Amino acid sequence: MVNSQFSIINSQLNKMRTISLIILHCSATRINARYTAAQCRFDHMHHRGWKDIGYHYYVEQDGSIHRGRPEAEVGAHCKHHNQHSIGICYEGGLDAQGHAADTRTPAQKEALLELLTDLHRRFPMALILGHRDLSPDLNGNGLIEPNEYLKQCPCFDANQEYRF
């Protein structure tokens, strides 16, 4: 009996969610500043009161990929879309004046491509989008246009760049 109970618990723990979206974010950090994965986790836990960092992956300026929440757990990164998505954040997204800009370093681009290639292989049906692409379609023309973006995040066209 004990064994079968354990195997039930175990299979629930290992149950992977259905992933229909892979959503990219920026940390909205100026290019001349730092905001590490550890800082982000600390802020999400101690300032927002979450149990862990909201993202599943965090890519720092130097291209290092940091694991956040386990993929099987729902993240906290995109209102209305957390249930079936994986959230990835890169450190940056603002120029030195604080304006939205694609600040990804070559190392970050390489790391993001590597990470997304792996995720696409494991979740081939999932769409890869930027946070801003999930803004409401205000004029109902089926496209999320720049004037409809709730925010600029992730400050580049993720859907265009990551088509596998």
Residues that bind Zn ion (CB under 5 A): 25, 131, 153
Residue 154 CB, nearest distance to Zn ion (Å)?
6
Asked whether the beta carbons of 108 and 90 are under 8 A apart, the reply is yes
| Residue closer to Zn ion, measured from CB, 55 or 123 | 55
Residue 121 CB, nearest distance to Zn ion (Å)?
24
| Residue closer to Zn ion, measured from CB, 10 or 83 | 83
Residue 7 CB, nearest distance to Zn ion (Å)?
38
For 73, the token pair is 């757990």
Residue 125 CB, nearest distance to Zn ion (Å)?
22
| Residue closer to Zn ion, measured from CB, 56 or 131 | 131
| Residue closer to Zn ion, measured from CB, 69 or 131 | 131
